[in-house]
Amino acid sequence: MSNYASPVDTETYGEYTITRAPDDTRPVYRFTGRISDDGSTPYPAESGRYHVYSGWFCPWAQRVTLVIELAGLSDLVSVSYVAGGRDARGWGFRESTGPDPVNGFTLLRDAYNATEPGFDGHVSVPTLWDRTTKQVVSNTFDTLDADLATQFRGQVTSEFDLYPENLRAQIDELEAWLRATVNSTANVATGTGPAAEEAATTVFGAYSELDSRLADSRFLLGDNVTLADVRLWVTLVRHDAAAARTGTRRLSDFPNLWRYARDLYSLDAFRVTTDFTSFGASDAVVDDWKSPITSSASAH
């Protein structure tokens, strides 16, 4: 019999919060281990050694599952999913998404406590688990996706070079801009009140810039998919679903950005790592994302 967490129960356990002492200067994302293919870190790029705990609902987690698919790592790095919804215990393994296949934990917090007893930081997805040391290696999504994109390349064959040396500075620059203007803001922009209005101004301003950028470019940095596209797309699809529910502006208001987003969704890796129901997309939204692409910047 599989081990599952009991149902989410905020009346009994309370809401999920991160409680920290005022003088605690440690990062909320506590685990920052890096995978390497040259022995420069304690975590070598070994096939079968690592497991990713993910969440279908989470854009930051999908960045990692997308990289695993695009980089051809699905046979080297395993993935499982926590269920949506949480109380003070954090994310749990439930029948809707299946058990923890590695440790049999009922809560993701169990993995953190096994690594740091009494853990009081952020219990988050994605989480990278090391089967050899039986500890969490990383829950730092913006280095984890880069490591998975690069450190196993000698072991797999993939058409996608997601973080090429000659584009890393541009990808990193885009990451900083996108996180501030889109990835950390879009979820606020579909709400109500002054904060939502300010966020919408920022997001739609960024969308206009991206729309202009994509007028003559298939992807953000040319004709090849990179980490920059992965990091943007996971927010675009969720924001569009939320915008449809709330009646705010959708991606279709930005024709080049809309073409680009659906072009990426036409790739197998984007489809198999996306569960529209996990972030509340309606059937109509799903149909929109599957609609034919009538033009492509790659033909310009």
Closest CA to 55 of 262, 225, 232, 238: 238
Q: Which residues contact 19 (CB under 8 A, 6 or more apart)?
A: 120
Order of strands, edge to edge, in the sheet holding 50-54? 78-81, 50-54, 127-130, 135-138
Q: Is the pLDDT of residue 100 over 70?
A: yes
Residue 83 — pLDDT band, cuts 50, 70, 90? very high
Return the percent helix, strand and coil in the chain, to nearest 5.
Answer: 45, 10, 45
Q: Is the pLDDT of residue 18 over 90?
A: no
DSSP annotation string for 198-209: HHHHHHHHHHHH
CB atoms within 10 A of CB 105: 21
CB atoms within 10 A of CB 184: 13
Return phi, psi of residue 174, to 5°.
-65, -40
| pLDDT given at position 294 | 75
Q: In this structure, are residues 56 and 278 in contact, taking their beta carbons and an 8 Å threshold?
A: yes
Average pLDDT rounded to a whole number, residues 58-79: 98
Average pLDDT rounded to a whole number, residues 277-294: 94
Residue 78 — pLDDT band, cuts 50, 70, 90? very high
Q: Which residues contact 234 (CB under 8 A, 6 or more apart)?
A: 59, 60, 62, 63, 66
Burial of 188 (0-12, 13-18, 19+ CB in 10 A): middle
Give the pLDDT confidence of 212-265 residue by residue, as tens digits.
999 999 999 999 999 999 999 999 999 999 999 999 999 999 999 999 999 999
- Please tell me the distance from the alpha carbon of residue 92 to that of residue 10, in angstroms, as a whole number: 13
Closest CA to 130 of 98, 105, 90, 102: 102
Closest CA to 97 of 280, 285, 242, 277: 277
Q: In this structure, are residues 171 and 91 in contact, taking their beta carbons and an 8 Å threshold?
A: no
| pLDDT given at position 24 | 84
Residue 299 — pLDDT band, cuts 50, 70, 90? very low
Compute the mean pLDDT over every residue in the chain, rounded to the nearest whole number. Answer: 95
The two structure tokens encoding residue 207: 């969308």
